[in-house]
Structure 1
Amino acid sequence: MENQFKDKVAIVTGGSFGIGRATAILFAKHGAKVTIADVVEDSETLNTIKKLGGTAIFVKCDVSKESDVINMVEQTIEKFGRIDFAFNNAGIEGLAAPAHECTNNNWTNVMNVNIDGVWLCMKHQIPHMLKQGKGAIVNNASVAGLVGFAGTPAYVASKHAVVGLTKNAASDYAKLGIRVNVVCPGIIKTPMIDRFTGKDKKIEKQFMDMEPVGRLGKPEEVAEAVIWLCSDASSFVTGQALAVDGGWVAQ
């Protein structure tokens, strides 16, 4: 697989932490040049890639702002000359509340990042892939894009929308050389989950008990799925929502 990624270019949004960081590093390990994009400037992802002998740049980007997304894409093209892969991973969980208590502000913020951000990224990534005649995009949803979760109406709605948008894009570009898929992680040990649980071991244990495999997932396990979906090994796979969830939605 390494030869498939050598001298290719990947964009990873939300690349400073968690699943995004693991995926950016794995792209680099396979030989790809990486644009790490995040609203939070954190040097660990970039430094790790450089220590591995890889090539990467960091671009500060709020994916809910089209001007930021345009800048991210332009900097990638200016530095590397092409875009082969994109992992549109940036997302926020918002505030927990049932539908009638979800504030307008929370709804808007979650939608702006989680679905508008994915759409804006694809909008500006795809033209470069069309010029090349080939590309692979993986969006990040959640098992909350496949099933409901009480108390998170904006998050669940946004992640269902990401799955739908992915299927639409896969249909639009299937004959144009661009594959578009979506990963749907289960409960993964990331800073987002730490915020949700408050790092309370009892709450974390409850999540672990709900997972059929009996543990939380690792960011690296989602990253492996993303890399596979970008590789030629998945050349006949497009428009799919791949649950990386320890069997959560199979229950």
Structure 2
Amino acid sequence: MSSGLQSKVIVVTGGTAGMGEAFSRRAASDGATVVIGARDKTRGEQLAADIRKDGGLAVFVPTDVTVEEQVANLVRTAVSEFGRLDGAFNNAGGGNALGKVREIDESFWRATLDLNLTSIFFSLKHEIPAIVASGGGSIVNNASTAGVIGDAAIAAYTAAKHGVVGLTRAAALDAAREGVRINALVTGLVDTPLWRQVAAANPEVEDYFLGLQPSGRIGRQEDIAAFAAFLLSDASTYITGAALPIDGGLTAK
């Protein structure tokens, strides 16, 4: 079933693996033009080529989301190549290595916030004006369950993702009267390539997290892609400023 993304131009950050890749493929299959921004040039160009081979429209722009000018260039490229920007899926993030507050050094703290929070700030700063100029649209930020619940073991990541939720709400209020909707996904554990590596190295970790899941399973990349596609479509025009859980019931407890 189509998600209603036909003919939309959508920027995807962190779009070359995991949830970002799944969304890029889903959006393109639904008729959107996808402008993918990520650091891995080889993987990004291959993904864009695969999408085009399958009949979709996609381009890759090498982008380090922790560098504002590169984020600005990603947005400029979308507008210059395709004439407008209708939406964005800000998915870049990660690096949630273990570290309690008392154990974190300054460089780790700053790097974690740069990747997971400042990158969202840069993205919103440049995406919102472009979407306003195009007549309105939607932005989805990937925040994680760490954006709404605490976890002492990943303090820096938790702080950054809480920041994403707050920034999403502030930006949504700022842009609401200009036709730009902005929401955050509160994603739970998802079966991504990174998670597979962790689970393979630590089988007990997978058992532990499955035990926490009310649904009895971890999420599929396609689950996230489908929900993000809905939020970026015209079927969700009354939803903005929300932090929406897609976590198998984890945050319902």
Partner residue, 1:152: 154
Q: Is the 8 A contact 1:63 1:90 kept in 2?
A: yes
Aligned-residue offset at 1:2: 4.1
Q: Is the 8 A contact 1:82 1:128 kept in 2?
A: yes
> What is the alpha-carbon root mean square deviation over aligned residues?
1.6
Q: How does 1:79-98 map to 2 (within 5 A)?
A: 79-98=81-100
Aligned length: 251
Partner residue, 2:246: 244
CA distance 1:156–1:195, change in 2 (3 Å): farther
Aligned-residue offset at 1:173: 1.0
Distance 2:122 2:92 in 1: 12
Distance 1:94 1:188 in 2: 14
Distance 1:144 1:124 in 2: 25
Tell me which of 49, 71, 74 is aligned to 1:72. Answer: 74
Q: Which residue identity is paired with 1:230?
A: L
Cα deviation per residue 1:30-49 (whole Å; 9 max; x = unaligned)?
10000111112204432331
Q: Is the 8 A contact 1:16 1:36 kept in 2?
A: yes
Q: Which residue identity is paired with 1:34?
A: V
Aligned-residue offset at 1:197: 4.2
Q: How does 1:1-251 map to 2 (within 5 A)?
A: 2=2, 4-41=4-41, 42=43, 43-197=45-199, 199-251=201-253
Deviates more, 1:197-206 or 1:5-14: 197-206
Gaps of 5+ in 1: none
Gaps of 5+ in 2: none
Q: Is the 8 A contact 1:25 1:48 kept in 2?
A: no
Distance 2:234 2:79 in 1: 23
Q: Is the 8 A contact 2:3 2:229 kept in 1?
A: no
Cα deviation per residue 1:170-199 (whole Å; 9 max; x = unaligned)?
111111100000101100011332454454
SS in 1 for 2:109: helix
Cα deviation per residue 1:202-246 (whole Å; 9 max; x = unaligned)?
321221121111111111101111011111211110001011100
SS in 2 for 1:45: helix
Q: Which residue identity is paired with 1:18?
A: G
Q: Is the 8 A contact 2:4 2:230 kept in 1?
A: no
CA distance 1:144–1:196, change in 2 (3 Å): farther
SS in 2 for 1:183: strand
Q: Is the 8 A contact 1:94 1:106 kept in 2?
A: no
Distance 1:196 1:154 in 2: 19
Q: Is the 8 A contact 1:33 1:56 kept in 2?
A: yes
What is the percentage of aligned positions where both structures have the same residue? 39
Deviates more, 1:126-135 or 1:137-146: 126-135
Deviates more, 1:2-11 or 1:211-220: 2-11
Cα deviation per residue 1:3-54 (whole Å; 9 max; x = unaligned)?
8422210011000100000111111011000011111220443233123200
Q: Is the 8 A contact 2:75 2:130 kept in 1?
A: no
Distance 2:61 2:250 in 1: 34
SS in 2 for 1:205: helix
TM-score, normalised relative to structure 1? 0.95
TM-score, normalised relative to structure 2? 0.94
